[in-house]
Structure 1
Amino acid sequence: MLQRELTREQAIAAGEQVLQGMESTIIERGYSYFSSGVVFNTRVENNRFLYSDVQGTQVYHVRLDLENVQNSTCTCPYTRLCKHIAATFFQMYSVFENPRHFLARAQKPRRVNFSSAMLMPRYRPVASEGHGNETAPVSSPLTATSSVHDWWTFFESWTRNLLSAMESYRASSEIFSSYQNVLSVAWGWPRERAQLFHIHANLFHLQKLQQYVKSYRQSCWYPDLAKTAEQLLEQLEGAIYFADRQALRADHRPALAETVTIMQKWKENDTSSLYWVYAYRMLWWSLLTDPDWVKQEVETLEQAMQTPNAPAAEIEKYRLLRAHFSVMENEDALALQVWKQIGCLPLAFYLPYLKAFARNQEWQRFLNWTEALTDLIGSAEDQQYRLIIAIWQEAMKQVGRSDECGHMLKNFLPGSFSEYALHLYEAKQFKPWIDLHMSYQVPLADVSSVHLKEIEEAAPSLLYPYYIREINRLIRERNRTAYKEAIKLLKKVRAIFAKAKQESDWERFVDKLSAKHNRLRAFQEELRRGNLYL
């Protein structure tokens, strides 16, 4: 059916857009969904839109825009191009091409183009009306007019057995299930009130997770628990981002004042984990922006920093929090100086600011921060690195410095290795290209044969040290297969010497190599079979 309604050219064009705008991990998950056969009811409209249903935790409805993939939509909470959209793409692509070949392309290093969708939180909050959710609403005494204090009292009652359940079963599943279920309390409430309830439910469960780690795990954050904290923070970011913050400030000031009180108490947490710090900054940055509240919090922090005989860890904590308000005051250099002195802060700590600057189109401010955080960006995990570099390239474009991007990628090594190597190759700077590959000890087998062939034709002598290093590596493996590969490379080296009319140097090189490994009988046999002398 799809083969009659769509064309191979449409599938290939859509595939190129997927490669440009979708993360590798999302493509891989989409392929897994497609392979599992959970995509159904696929249909085409207007020779452009591909609709499908995808079975995930529930059935999600996808609309894939083949002309502009970035405009595709899905009913899941994920705000960007999601795995359900990727699965729908593979369902269509498989009719015309081999989807495994596409997946292999997606897993290779590639440039990611900037899109404003990158700046959106990953998840949007669950609708307060509860449409599409099969879970029955949680029974509670709360109403839309209940105070924030009443909310937290109910949360405590609702989760009275949560910590023991987390200890007995899978902790991450228990707490996330508790969080998602309690959201149904606000079904039918006015939109802004439900949004604020979601925010507080998230804060409470994040605090409960930290309490669990401290009480049951002796401050040990297992990867599964850390991932849960990150998911809660992603949900919190989405809840704040998609909330009607102007209406909340105008019509729900008493509730926000109670939120300020809760945030003030959060300073009592220790810094064995930074998750509560991330939540604290989100609230003050985007929601609790009243000048009087901010002024009061800053004064409290500064007084705490001056407390006589206070433990050094406490003072450092307050300095870390105070620096956030320095950013709000546009004192970026001061904040960065404090945080760099503290040290050990990951790139994730700075990401909310970098994304906020890009959302506000403060491009020079963004570039100032990336310059200060160069080392962290270069050593960041792949997903974070690719996000920042995509924004960085857009920022450079916006300030009229696109032509500097290529050579400046060197500053972000090792993360920028693939992009910087591609820049050097396209600029035909073959010597630094080879030096880069040798510096990072890239095996010759991992280098594009197309690139090697062009360099062999243009300047073969440049490849001499690369080939020699690879030959020595193969010989050290001490097996017949590796020796045969070494002989193939030796023949290439011989051609380089012959082209340079250095036959006597070649013979001395082969003699030294043979003498060095004279005890490797199999290697000596392959040398003779290769007839390597000129």
Structure 2
Amino acid sequence: MQERSVKEWTRLFYSCFSFPTMQKGWRLYTMGQVIDYDLNPDERLLEAHVAKPGANWNFYERPSLSLGDFRDSECTCLKRNCEHLAALAFTYLEEELDIDSQLILKPGGSAWGQSESVSSGAQSVWDSPKAGIAASSVKAAKVQAPAASSSVEEWHSYFRHRFPPERLSTLRGGDTFYNTVYGGLAPISSAWHPTLRGLYELHVLLFTFKLLDELSGSGYRYSLGYDYYAIRQLFSDLFNQTYDQLLRLLRTLHGEEARSLYSEHLQATADYLARHAFPLSAGFVSWMPIYISIWSGLLMEEARTDREKARLSRAARQEEVSPALFDQLLTARILFDVEEGQDEAAWAKASQLKSRGHIRLYPFLFGFQHTGQWARLQLWLEKLAPMIREKWGQPDETYYELWSHLLDKHAAREAWERVMLQLLPASLPYYLDQLMRQERFQEWVDLHMAFGYTPLDLRVSDYKPIELKRKSLLLPWFHHSIEKLIAEKNRDSYKRAVRLMKKLRTMYGKLKQKERWELYLNHIREKYSRLRALQQELGQLTKGEA
């Protein structure tokens, strides 16, 4: 069946739908309420879910549109020629035929012919006071699909036309969003030169990040029906999925070839990051890792780098710059010091970061880790320890994990131990973990005694390796803990002391030192003979032996 002309589509729309119904249907389409539409070309039938704006996704209608004659269509709302069918019809025109909806909606256009007219009430969808955001998503002129000769700006113009945020605001899951956007745009470049195709896909990912930023804003976030924590997890998953793809792509891009053949595209990429990677307020998208990854992996070139450094310095000197934006600009500036091997200059700038600055430096440390720059990673971790304590409190788990990875690859034990001791008591769990891994059992036990921990404060599995290999090292800890509990002089502490004594008795038995156990038990009885409650609990211990 040959497809209709725009004029024929216009006649079909107005023979089936009233203009107010078309307005409602068009809004449903442009707000992204048409989801999971399915085209059956053999039966000329189009089906979809259409949700109500702002409603929970459990509330939707299921229109079934007959492309042969709209009047043969059906919808679960049970109304004839409803707005849900109109929304589906607009979806078919835009998505399958690439016909501009405005040609249908705007009376007096070329699709109407000179003799066509409409009632005075049917002016234009633009007259609706509710058109608002949706109006910005409809093109005033035809937007061409990207070609190998297109500019980066033309790519993004098409991306925005194809996927305005209001049309994606009801997508319920990460896979749906990612597959819809990336899967809908990336294949366009499949026949292009591989490096140009890589640059195009890079901008598809940048557009995806920008969409996530917009959709996570309050204007869309609350219409999704999630609470804040579910929203945060959803967008965190989406960001991680997109960022992982970005890193994979950057590993395959040929930087030298891109700089030689597509310098304009690279400059446009730098310009895009300058506009979007420094938001005035924090959102769910972490732009700085994106900025760092693309610049360090692709954009580094002397003239372009000099321009960017100058731009960052100018922006940071502006009087109205907020502390958060200042930190972003300074972090970006640190990137270029790191790339040029100017670590002293980078540390000097890092000391100026205002809020939890060590977290902003982690991308550089991850870079050292991924490229095997172990000595450099050690130097940065050592330098950060006093800086963190003086300016930002205590390190977080990521800092200690970086040390752990370093110890697996590099002889840095002395430096690690020096830093862990500096950071006590916050570093104690991580220090103890490494001591156990290194089988430094005596130091592990000594630290638990020094910080007042008893074996009852831990799981048996925590010290099981010592019990299996050097059981005798545990004896002083048990003796010390028993004395500590008795000194608290209350019935509950006495019970806990006797629990430890039962375990101690078992240990002495396995060491074949039963006589030492008897001497110790008699010593406790005599030393604390006046503590009647303790003596009663010790009686339970003797009873247990029988």
Q: TM-score range by the shorter chain?
A: 0.5 to 0.7
Q: Which amino acid aligns with 2:382?
A: E
Measure the CA separation in 2 of the matches of 1:276 and 1:138. Answer: 36
User: With structure 1 as the length reference, what TM-score do the two structures score?
Assistant: 0.59
Question: What is the DSSP-based 3-state SS (H/G/I as helix, E as strand, rest coil) of the residue aligned with 1:287?
Answer: helix
Which residue in 1 is equivalent to 2:502?
Answer: 488
Deviations 1:239-259 (A, max 9, x none): 112211121111111111211
Q: Pairwise mapping of residues 236-385 of structure 1 onto structure 2 (< 5 A)?
A: 236-273=246-283, 275-339=286-350, 341-342=352-353, 344-345=355-356, 349-358=360-369, 360-374=371-385, 380-381=396-397
- Say yes or no: does 1:452 pair with 2:462: no
Letter in 1 for 2:179: S
Structure 1 residue 507 corresponds to structure 2 residue 507: no
Query: Could you tell me whether the CA contact under 8 Å between 1:206 and 1:232 is conserved in 2?
Result: yes
> Structure 2 vs 1, CA of residues 413 and 245 (structure 1 numbering), >3 Å: closer, same or farther?
farther
Structure 1 residue runs of 5 or longer lacking an equivalent are: 1-136
1:276 positional shift: 1.0
Alignment of structure 1 residues 423-434 onto 2, 5 Å: 423-425=438-440, 429=443, 431-432=445-446, 434=448
1:498 alignment partner, one of 509, 516, 519: 516
Letter paired with 2:540:
E
1:294-346 CA deviation, whole Å, 9 max, x = no partner? Answer: 11111112112222344444434323332222323333234344445435548
When residues 404 and 329 of structure 1 are mapped into structure 2, their CA distance, relative to the original with a 3 A threshold, is closer
Q: Give the counterpart of 1:141 among 137, 140, 145.
A: 145
2:168 counterpart residue number: 165
1:436, 1:478 → 2: CA distance?
21
1:7 maps to none
* 1:435-457 CA distance string (max 9 Å, x none): 48965975152334452254443
- Distance in 1 (CA, whole Å) between partners of 2:517 and 2:542 is 23
* 1:211-231 CA distance string (max 9 Å, x none): 111233489861221222122
- Name the TM-score, length of structure 2 as normaliser: 0.58
Percent of matched pairs sharing the same residue: 15
Partners of 1:458 and 1:316 in 2: CA distance: 49
Query: 5+ unaligned residues in a row in structure 2: which ranges?
Result: 1-95, 99-143, 223-227
Mean Cα deviation higher: 170-179 or 293-302 = 170-179
The answer to whether 1:204 aligns with 2:218 is: no
Q: Do the aligned partners of residues 311 and 165 (structure 1) sit closer, same or farther apart at CA in structure 2, a change above 3 Å counting?
A: closer
Larger relative contact order (Cα-Cα within 8 Å, sequence gap ≥ 6):
1
Closer, same or farther: CA 446–517 of 1 in aligned 2, 3 Å: farther
Name the CA shift for 1:145/1:422 in 2 (closer, same or farther; >3 Å).
Answer: same
Rg (Cα) greater in structure: 2
2:147 is paired with a residue whose SS is coil
What letter matches 2:212 in structure 1? Answer: L
Contact 2:243 2:290 (8 Å CA) reproduced: yes
Q: Which residue is 2:544 aligned to?
A: 530
Number of aligned residue pairs: 383
Task: Please state if 1:180 is matched with 2:168.
Answer: no
- Give the conservation status (yes or no) of the 8 Å contact 2:498–2:538: no
RMSD: 4.4
Q: Distance in 2 between matches of 1:454 and 1:514?
A: 38
Q: Is the 8 A contact 2:467 2:474 kept in 1?
A: no
- Tell me, in whole angstroms, the C-alpha distance in 2 between the residues paired with 1:328 and 1:459: 50
Give me the whole-angstrom Cα distance separating, in 2, the residues matched to 1:328 and 1:430. 40
Can you list the C-alpha shifts for 1:251-276, whole angstroms capped at 9, x where unaligned?
11111121122122125512514611
Is the alpha carbon distance of 1:366 and 1:457 closer, same or farther for their aligned partners in structure 2, counting shifts above 3 Å? closer
Shift of 1:404: 7.0
Secondary structure of 2:280's partner?
Answer: coil
**Cα deviation, residue 205, structure 1:** 0.7
Q: Which amino acid aligns with 2:220?
A: Y
